[in-house]
Structure 1
Amino acid sequence: MRWMAKARGYIRHRAPFVAMYAISMLCVIGIAFFAGEDMSVALYTALIISFFFACIAVVDIDRYAKKLKTLDELCGTITHLSRALPRGEGGLEKAYTHVLEELCNEYDALSASETARKQESLDYYTLWIHQIKTPIAAMRLLLEQDGDRAVMRQELFKIEQYAMMALRFIKLESISSDIVLAPCRLDSAVKEQVRGHSIPFVYKGLSVSVNVSGQSIMTDKKWLGFIIEQLISNAVKYTNKGGVTICGDAKTLSIEDTGIGIMPEDLPRIFEKGYTGYNGRIDDRSSGIGLYMAKRAADALSIRIGVESRLGRGTRFTLYFPDCEREIYK
């Protein structure tokens, strides 16, 4: 039965005190017996000791039962556990309680982090669905009207970009385990991304100038390519005439456009998730996700991103590469 199991548990829990009581009784009665004293005095003394022991035991059993009840109620849940645990009385109990509080605080932090991560994913994919619906609807309309193939290629390019963004967003959650450092030729990485954006360059009639050295840097080629891709995509999106100039070496890489520029008050917040600023209000398709993801990837590679902009004149993003491999792992 449960109450018998709890009683046995209590006796085991207080075994030293029960043993001390039994020893004290044996001592009182034994000493009186072997000394030839009046046993009534010994029994009276034992009775008084037993009375006080019983009073203390009743109080202790009540506390023990209340603690068990609280723990039974908490069984199966860890939420707010540290604030609901019965208060420790002895030094050892307080130490155990402190350890549990630390574990509960760590659990609360992990739980909050996981909740935030899930909410971030939900926000992104909700936005992603709305974004990808636009080019799909445009392609459907063009197909029905036998529309311009150049426009269709542009819309298809957007769908491909959104799909790749979704894949990168998933991998960004565990980017540290996805990074593979190896020598990477900077000019090859840049030209690959420029070729990938040939459709929007041609569609918008923009020029592109690439002057990048053939030096190699120690980095992850895939994630560096993603950062460059986002900056080129951003430049093309907000440039309607002129073009994009890309130049750099093993220390820095700059991507400059002749687009609409960024308002000074928006510059400090352009890497925040979901922040679109004034330009986002002009182009309601802007998500405020691309630069946020580029910044997270750059931080993982210890690449610093600088930005300069003049409203109506254009924007320049500059990547500052770490001096050595050791800095990447900091």
Structure 2
Amino acid sequence: MYLINLITKVAKTKSRDLLLYAINTIVIIFFYYLLFDNSEIIYPLILSAFIVSIYFSIEVIRYKSFQEKLYDSKRSPNYDGSNLTYSEEEILNNISEIHQDYQNKIYTLNQQIKERETLFSQWIHNMKTSITVIDLACEQSNINNENNKSIEDIKEENNMLKKNLEECLNLLRLDDFSRDYITGRCSLRELVNGVVNSKKRDFIYKGVFPKVNIPDDVYVYTDKKWCSYIIEQIISNAIKYSKTKSGDTVEISYKNNNNTTIVFIKDTGVGISKEDLPRVFDPFFTGNNGRKDRNATGIGLYMVKLVSQKLGHKIEIESTTNVGTIIKIIF
């Protein structure tokens, strides 16, 4: 198929030359017909066909060589420029100049982005220092029994600010993900329990109870820190959008399926509407539920999707309004 396409392209490119050869053959045959009584035309036909086939074979080989150099020039400007015609060399030189120009522009843009990210990272760390100071001041007020509503409000807003800054840092770290993760054999129960314990206060405040149905002998291959981040984001959403009634649960279970382990995180919350469901992993999409909560940023599930892709895991979601949501993490 490749050879046929190559011959077709050469035939189209050299159609004018082939037409001239055909006219030349017709003229020769005409003169043979006039000059010789026996009207011998086989000899000129064979001679012309032989010359055309030699010429056409050479052009096919040259065109194939040019295609290979053209392909090399797309990948790198350092191609072999030997055995080229003037027009072919002109084409490849122009491609090389464009290639080099784009490489320089991309390098400059990458440097600017890295410098900007370094500055943002530094600013975020400086802001986290201020947050820590505010947090300590609020704790000191609590120790001194200063039960001030304003202090509690400041503390709550400070925690929200801390969470948002952590999201910014995680987003910045994704570009250098390959230098910030270590894949290993992790106990799934330990991963889930670690996240559940860290969210203990949120469970209590919301009146929601966690149920972990994962035995000790279940292991997955993942990065412990980033996988904990994925589970934390999903559980945080499960708590946030649970109904405010006693007895609500967030159930975490698992299932082995051939060569995969599936973790199910199920809540009995407000659920996600059918029209919002296809867009929940889009950046900054908050949906109908998010519009009712001023703290919703639309970043959490977007980060979950990005990190899971980096780790080679898969995320699936099912939800019904006023019934609940099930998110699956497939290892």
When normalised by structure 1's length, the TM-score is 0.58
Deviation at 1:154, TM superposition (A): 5.8
Partner of 1:203: 205
| d(CA) in 2 for partners of 1:139, 1:284 | 26
Q: Please, what is the CA RMSD of the aligned residues?
A: 4.3
Conserved 8 A contact 1:187-1:212: yes
SS at match of 2:242: coil
Conserved 8 A contact 1:184-1:216: yes
- Corresponding position: 1:235 with 2:238: yes
Pair 316,148 (structure 1): closer, same or farther in 2 beyond 3 Å: farther
- Corresponding position: 1:168 with 2:170: yes
| d(CA) in 2 for partners of 1:280, 1:306 | 20
SS at match of 1:174: helix
Conserved 8 A contact 2:273-2:320: yes
Conserved 8 A contact 1:213-1:248: no
Pair 159,284 (structure 1): closer, same or farther in 2 beyond 3 Å: closer
Aligned length: 233
Pair 275,163 (structure 1): closer, same or farther in 2 beyond 3 Å: same
Deviation at 1:171, TM superposition (A): 1.2
Pair 239,110 (structure 1): closer, same or farther in 2 beyond 3 Å: farther
How do 1:177-196 and structure 2 match up within 5 A? 177-196=179-198
- Corresponding position: 1:99 with 2:83: no
SS at match of 2:315: strand
SS at match of 2:239: helix
| d(CA) in 2 for partners of 1:309, 1:155 | 30
When normalised by structure 2's length, the TM-score is 0.58
Moved more, 234-243 or 162-171: 162-171
Pair 295,152 (structure 1): closer, same or farther in 2 beyond 3 Å: same
Deviation at 1:227, TM superposition (A): 0.4
Alignment deviations for residues 130-159 of structure 1 (CA, whole Å, 9 cap, x no partner) = xxxxxx999999999923998887656544
How do 1:32-43 and structure 2 match up within 5 A? none
| d(CA) in 2 for partners of 1:302, 1:162 | 26
How do 1:303-314 and structure 2 match up within 5 A? 303-314=313-324
How do 1:269-284 and structure 2 match up within 5 A? 269-284=279-294
| d(CA) in 2 for partners of 1:210, 1:198 | 13
Deviation at 1:305, TM superposition (A): 0.4
| d(CA) in 2 for partners of 1:243, 1:100 | 63
- Corresponding position: 1:223 with 2:226: yes
Conserved 8 A contact 2:121-2:172: no
SS at match of 2:284: coil
SS at match of 1:209: strand
User: Unpaired segments of 5 or more residues in structure 2?
Assistant: 1-85, 124-132, 143-147
Partner of 1:7: none
Partner of 2:252: 246
| d(CA) in 2 for partners of 1:123, 1:264 | 37
Pair 142,176 (structure 1): closer, same or farther in 2 beyond 3 Å: closer
How do 1:52-201 and structure 2 match up within 5 A? 91-106=88-103, 146-147=148-149, 157-201=159-203
Deviation at 1:294, TM superposition (A): 1.0
| d(CA) in 2 for partners of 1:205, 1:258 | 13
Conserved 8 A contact 1:258-1:313: yes
Pair 155,195 (structure 1): closer, same or farther in 2 beyond 3 Å: farther
Conserved 8 A contact 2:272-2:321: yes
Which residue of the other structure, out of 283, 290, 299, is the alignment partner of 1:289? 299
User: Unpaired segments of 5 or more residues in structure 1?
Assistant: 1-88, 127-135, 322-330
> Amino acid of the residue matched to residue 95 of structure 1?
L
Moved more, 157-166 or 287-296: 157-166
Conserved 8 A contact 1:142-1:148: no
